[in-house]
Structure 1
């Protein structure tokens, strides 16, 4: 209580030297004692930091700082930073057109028709002469078993997996040549279960689709699945192939034909709704007006200048144009191209802070070239004078409050003396 009274008295003396003498130490102590219980009923949004730290049963505290790279957005670096630097399908999965021949796989079901040159052969008895033009027989549909083979009467087990339909036909003819009358064989695909693609996620009719024999591209498969449920600019396509997974914005696939690659059997296509966004913090007009700090791109690519505009621009009364920052995790190869020594970082995704000076006359041009990425954090620092202004405002408000309290106590003392 003594310290509180002393501090309160100092605040009063700092504003009006004679006030403390008029109030008196006992009256000031009375005011301080009356104000202490009010602290527990003041408005708040949750527990205080002292309460959180003091009531913890166990924990782990650390003062270790996260290592990061600081890169200036300048004429030397904008050449790299102006590129979207996005992972692409055609970069990870080279767009090589599949073979035009359709290859049979395990689980496929085949139709087999065997023709002979004359009746009375292995499959066409003499009594059937003329009854069936062409003297042929249709075998029951044959499914390719787990060993990759089918069974043909009198020909035995025929390897079929990883073969084209003409190759299977020739293999059957070779087995029957010495037993049937000039045999000819026609093999066609009844049901396809090996050359399939799964299209899942935010499409209108997700499911497993069979690929045709000439090959199909990514957008064709998405269209066969009913198309995306949401706009292309807020939908991502994830392609999973051979244990690798690549994620690309659907609008990029639509606008860049090179990204519309051919799909291979057993690929998995997953469509998700994920609108690209960035977070805007600091001395920006949108934060002053209370707008949401997470802002959608609404376009396929967004520059830093556009991001600042979406955030309402810099606050003229608060911001320091020389201190504009973009926070993100950057790939090691790009930082090495920029000339950053990455040997001090032990991981491939390196925390990176990009700095832009908009007081530089060319700063706006650099901002117009710098490419934002989804989940970036844009921060504009306060001008240094803002901290002094905050301090002066706090001192002024404290002095005014103390003066008003002192006047109220003086009035009470005067009223009490007058009454008694």
Structure 2
């Protein structure tokens, strides 16, 4: 009877396990369903090639730099200020002076004029051909010239007609030497550059300042088809990054707090915290990142197996001594390894700079796998024992009833 009851229970368990896919709760389709119902696809067993670099005394010098991307390194033009030139659409004020009355622009003595009289012309807009129109001088090229150069050009045209002419040109409205400041600023818009030159932070201030904290704001500068993105807090703390702005630059601010992902045998993962963490500071070291993740889990982690995953540029890996000829693309998948069982590993971790979007992973100790296996065996034995006890109880109840 016990054997029969056990066989019945075993059969029920088998039926339940066979229908578990459709009975048990879930959050979506199973992997088998995804594979079986696919109409077409590409399957591959090719492994992704990557570089493995040990963080050591030989490599830490290159890895201790927080960020190699900078404005001062990307834009080589480092003049103290731009030379302001007139462009199409600009509006100019022009005043013409003559040394004596009775000239082209001043009446004679009989009209009550005095030496040194002048005339103000109506504001002159630079047309699409880059010219302005001046009476008795005709069309004078202005686009691409500085204000003194336009003054000299008008004087040269009037020298043989007016009496010792002198010309004063000033900028009435500026439409060509402008900069656009967009994105997460309080008052975005298009701003005209002043004649003394302006720097990045000055333009951001004119746009009302950033909406968010400097540590959460990135500044993207677009110039001549080139784009470079730098953290705003770095521009604030490093004056050399606060470069001069050029006409037609586009400054775009975006909110993007630097974050990294912490996976593996860390206390914050064991206790169920979020695995994506923010920097909260301008620069973050690996040691600080481990601390923000709650530290290594004492019962699970292997301190000798700490890894950082990122995509690295080819030139940096070449400096580290990696044979990059085996990789096709310039952005190479890279894994950095740190051994924290070595006392020097703590010092290396204190110098290694984490970058935004890095993945930090701490591997399990090998003994954890054996512990998992023993736990599985113990749970299986308990389940078998429970089934056996249930069969005995059913058998006893049947005998009692009959």
TM-score, normalising length from structure 2?
A: 0.95
1:388 CA displacement: 1.3
User: Is 1:316 equivalent to 2:298 in the alignment?
Assistant: yes
CA 1:301–1:95: 2 relative to 1, 3 Å: farther
Q: Which residue of 2 aligns with 1:158?
A: 140
Out of 208, 211, 214, the position equivalent to 2:196 is: 214
| C-alpha distance after superposition, 1:291-328 (max 9, x if no partner) | 11110000110000000000000111111111100000
User: Is 1:224 equivalent to 2:182 in the alignment?
Assistant: no
Distance, in Å, in 2 between the alignment partners of 1:202 and 1:171 is: 44
Out of 390, 399, 402, the position equivalent to 1:408 is: 390
Q: Which residue of 1 aligns with 2:235?
A: 253
| C-alpha distance after superposition, 1:196-215 (max 9, x if no partner) | 11111111111111111111
Q: Which residue of 2 aligns with 1:262?
A: 244
User: Is 1:196 equivalent to 2:178 in the alignment?
Assistant: yes
Please give the root-mean-square deviation of Cα atoms over the aligned residues, in Å: 1.9
| C-alpha distance after superposition, 1:155-178 (max 9, x if no partner) | 011111121111111111111111
SS in 1 for 2:261: strand
Distance, in Å, in 2 between the alignment partners of 1:98 and 1:52 is: 61
1:290 CA displacement: 1.1
Distance, in Å, in 2 between the alignment partners of 1:85 and 1:401 is: 55
CA 1:36–1:99: 2 relative to 1, 3 Å: closer
Distance, in Å, in 2 between the alignment partners of 1:20 and 1:285 is: 48
Unaligned runs of 5+ in 2: none
SS in 1 for 2:363: strand
| C-alpha distance after superposition, 1:49-100 (max 9, x if no partner) | 1222122222111111100000001111111111224211111113522567
User: Is 1:104 equivalent to 2:104 in the alignment?
Assistant: no
Q: Which residue of 1 aligns with 2:333?
A: 351
CA 1:179–1:81: 2 relative to 1, 3 Å: same
| C-alpha distance after superposition, 1:75-131 (max 9, x if no partner) | 111111112242111111135225675311111110111112223221223377435
TM-score, normalising length from structure 1?
A: 0.91
- Worse overlay, 207-216 or 406-415: 406-415
Distance, in Å, in 1 between the alignment partners of 2:267 and 2:320 is: 32
Q: Is the 8 A contact 2:100 2:114 kept in 1?
A: no
| C-alpha distance after superposition, 1:179-205 (max 9, x if no partner) | 112211111100011111111111111
Q: Is the 8 A contact 2:264 2:364 kept in 1?
A: yes
CA 1:291–1:174: 2 relative to 1, 3 Å: same
Q: Is the 8 A contact 1:236 1:273 kept in 2?
A: yes
